[in-house]
Amino acid sequence: MTESDRQKFYTDQLRALVSEKETALGRRLTFCVVTFGCQMNARDSEKLTGILTEAGYKETDSEQADFVLYNTCTVRENANERLYGRLGHLNHYKKSHPETVIAVCGCMMQEPAEVENVRNKLTFVDIVFGTHNIFKLAELLYTHLSTGERVFDVWEDTDLIVEDLPSKRKYSFKSGVNIMFGCNNFCSYCIVPYVRGRERSRKPEDIISEIKALADDGVVEIMLLGQNVNSYGKNLGHPITFAQLMKQIEEIDGIKRIRFMTSHPKDLSDELIETMAESKKICRHLHLPLQSGSSRVLKAMNRHYTKEQYLDLVDRIKTAIPDISLTTDIIVGFPGETEEDFEETLDVVKKIRFDNAFTFIYSKRDGTAAAKLPQVPEDVIKDRFNRLLSLVQKNTSEVCGRDIGKVVEVLTEEADSRVEGMLTGRLSNNIMVHFEGDSSLISRIVKVRLLESKGFYYYGRLEE
């Protein structure tokens, strides 16, 4: 029996149980999945939602549901605090609705100390599992419902990739596609390698057949997901590069836009730059985390590139793809960061003028190498953070309007929630545009003239 057959068996068992309960209650059983963190977690949540839907549960946005599942993030301390706040509220609700089943999964549950906290202090949590065994949800939930026992199942690491999981997409026309799991880079500040395990690439044929099925189902845009997509395929039995994979994906009929996240600068090849430059489908957007502009700090971060190498890489990218939009991540206040180091970061930001930069205050994560280093005082970090943020915002408002007056292709994504009759779409370079139009255009690629720039977004007019 394969793992996916085993899980189909448990899904059937669970469906019977759900149906029995629904008959007794005279109503449908509901579930709510709350997602924290990155695109990887968002994609995992689509799979968890797929499993619960197959088992007969009905999805709801409200946390006042029969089954509530928190898919957690632990990349920074504030992510953890937010989870505990939400759980506190739910505990209150459960007191008057004792049938409510509460589960916690995701990155935070890969940390033994957090699991112990839930086990001993948050006794109203019924089920805990980690990032490596999300495919077991039906089995874990069935076990809890049929025994009434709390279920804890966290794996330290895995080399297993379970294919053929059901999944329920959030959007009909776009989808994330995992191409690899885990991370081997151990940047010294980062907890992800500890909670997501070692790097594992999916086989190209599995990725291609998933994307073909998505295209047949009306998906026009895909986002290839991995912590470091540029090292895709290196450890497969038949090694293949990320650029080669992209070329195969490009051939798939129906797919009109290809995006990917995240690129580590140290592994971004000329082959990839060339493939992007030649491609009609790969979007004109690259998220290329800088983290710091100081070569000394970059070394301490274990990033394997210098300031000069990063600048040179960006130069090569901009020469080959002049209309590229660049975004980045920057950490302020890494242990030992001096004023001079920070000024190097400002210097890179001034030189490159990113379309946008996500700026983070360094957060100490237990177990990572940097956690043992002397920390920068909080007031110094706050001051640097504010200086960086205002530079980033100034750049964004100046740079993002560069296509004003042009007619561009836009994927219409949704009706504007604020103004009746307005639609929201996205340019190839990931910038948003608001324009007047009928909601029948949603999921279609249309031509829009860009009339006014608001920094992060445009106002435009539908052409033709």
User: What residues line the site for ligand SF4 (CB under 6 A)?
Assistant: 183, 185-187, 190, 192-193, 227-228, 264
The C-alpha atoms of residue 419 and residue 457 are separated, in whole angstroms, by: 15
Cα-trace Rg, the chain: 23
Contacting residue, 40, 128, 300, 330, with ligand F3S by CB under 6 A: 40
Which parts of 193-252 interact with ligand F3S (CB under 6 A)?
Answer: 195-196
Tell me how many residues contact ligand F3S (CB under 6 A).
Answer: 11
Part of the chain binding ligand SAH (CB under 6 A), chosen from 171-179, 212-220, 360-368, 391-399: 360-368
List helix spans (H) across 174-219: 192-196, 204-216
Binding of ligand F3S by 407 (CB under 6 A): no
To ligand SAH, the closest distance from the beta carbon of 275 in angstroms equals 20
Binding of ligand F3S by 74 (CB under 6 A): yes
- Is residue 8 exposed (0-12), middle (13-18) or buried (19+ Cβ within 10 Å)? middle
* Residues 432, 433, 434, 435, CA torsion sign: negative
For residue 223 the two structure tokens come to 């986002």
For ligand SF4, which is the closer residue by CB, 50 or 193?
193
Which entry of ligand SF4, ligand F3S, ligand SAH, none binds 193, CB below 5 to 8 A by partner kind? ligand SF4
CB distance 433 to 410 below 8 Å:
yes
DSSP string across 210-271? HHHHHHHTT--EEEEE-TTGGGTTTTSSS---HHHHHHHHHTSTT--EEEEE---GGG--HH
Binding of ligand F3S by 38 (CB under 6 A): yes
For ligand SF4, which is the closer residue by CB, 193 or 336?
193
For ligand F3S, which is the closer residue by CB, 75 or 224?
75
For ligand SF4, which is the closer residue by CB, 100 or 231?
231
For residue 328 the two structure tokens come to 């980045």
CB distance 29 to 68 below 8 Å:
no
The residues, ordered by sequence, that sit 6+ positions from 417 with a Cβ below 8 Å of its Cβ are none
Contacting residue, 29, 33, 52, 75, with ligand SAH by CB under 6 A: 75
Binding of ligand F3S by 192 (CB under 6 A): yes
Collapse the DSSP code of 453 into the 3-class scheme (helix H, G, I; strand E, B; otherwise coil) and give the result.
strand
For ligand F3S, which is the closer residue by CB, 37 or 425?
37
Interface with ligand SAH (CB under 6 A) = 75-76, 189-190, 192, 227-228, 262, 264, 289, 291, 329, 331, 360, 362-363, 365
Interface with ligand F3S (CB under 6 A) = 37-38, 40-41, 73-75, 107, 192, 195-196
